[in-house]
Structure 1
Amino acid sequence: MGGLRELHLGFVDLSGQGGEWCTALARYTPNLRVLSMPYSELTGPICGSIAGLQSLSVIDLQHNHLTGPFPEFFVELSSLSVLQLSYNDLHGWVPPSIFQHKRLVTIDLHQIPGLSGTLPNFSADSNLENLLVGNTNFSGSIPSSISNLKSLKKLGLGAQGFVGDLPSSISELKFLSSLQVSGLEVVGSMPPWITNLTSLEVLELSLCGLHGPVPSSICELSKLRILSLYSCNFSGKIPPCIFNLTQLDTLLLHSNNFSGEVELNSLWKLPNYLT
């Protein structure tokens, strides 16, 4: 199979293979470009011999049982554009340089609690469209240079180790459709610049130190499907105009300090309301 370019084995039970899948691929498919094996019950570490597959552009190994440290050699795969490792049991430090990879469009590390790291300064020549590190052990501040990611569509920073203010430069990400942030040391009030993100469909600010009222200007985000503002310190009245967001199907506002009354029949205004 030396000429194989793409391997798609999603939802195939390979639980009995141990680490053999990894060494076999490195040995017998030297020209592989697409490695897609999600939901395949894979176990063991990602072996270092995968570094020899220099043509790899897509690595999709999400929803498996992979263990061991984050493979630093991913940084050296010059053609890599998609890296999806979410929902695995990897651990250790993620080198910040992986986020500065010139060709990466998607880096998805969410739901890997054993991974830690920090975000680097981002350069203007980045091609990132999806940056997801939610439910990891990432920490530190969110760099203002994140505004250099002009093509960014999904930004998932739901790691409780993040600290400081949300940089207002996020408002420059005009194509952003999903923004998820948490962190007990992420402080301040609801930033007014959020309403500049007119493409937002998902807004989640949870498990954080944000406080104060939720401004009624949030209702200007008319494309919102999911609005999650829970387990923070928001207070005051819930803006009634939220119930006029016709695309909304999920609304989570629990575990805050809201006051006042909400008429239950307001929910009837939400034609897609499910949660």
Structure 2
Amino acid sequence: MLIATWNVNSVKARLETVIAWLKEASPDVVCFQELKCEDKAFPAQAFEELGYNLAVHGQKTYNGVAILSKLPFDEVRTRLPGDDGDEQARYVEAVVSGIRVASIYLPNGNPVASEKYAYKLSWMDRLITHTKGLLAYEEPFVLAGDYNVIPQAIDAKNPADWVNDALFLPPTLAKFRELINLGLTDAVRTLDPEPGLYTFWDYQAGAWQKNNGIRIDHLLLSPQAADRLQSTRIDKHVRAWEKPSDHVPVLAQFGA
């Protein structure tokens, strides 16, 4: 099974680009983030015509996540547990052919001095608690998405540029390590420890042209999913397409 994650940065604005990539890559399951549209405005027909089933949790103008699957969904959850008052659409989870997959759009957290950073850390605590529960099932699962976390200095072209950013602050990294240390595997890093792997290039200051990127889109695997991991790749070339997202797809291939 080929599972992918991609922050599309407005699914309607980049629909042609997204469709072109789906036809090229043909993932079995793909997690989208930052849809920037409500469920009723999601361009479902375009994806259904490619053979995908849809699980969408949208929000007008902001956020929004989805899972597309060529296989039927056995179960769908559209909220991260832990805060019934949280109205931000940042989490959707589904079971597909025995593998649980979540599409995650973790809060950015900037500016750090605002309530947005406290919300980021609180959201990470909720994710940690939920993941503990999932691990108890001892089943294969993939937590895929835009984590808005630069895990290590090696994951940024210029790490010094990010030292005061919510994506790279010590409390952020501590929460991410706490999540990983539950027993999860970073799919990309476990197979490729080399520098120069990025998933995001800002639209500003010629970041793409200078390859001034960061790696913030991750697929985190339960031990049972890690045992089935065969390969990973980052479709960096998509960033050079017309009307690109500032993120690119990250993919992992799993065996039976």
Tell me the TM-score normalised to structure 1 length. 0.25
More helix by share: 2
- Could you say which structure has the greater relative contact order, defined with CA pairs below 8 angstroms and 6 or more residues apart? 2
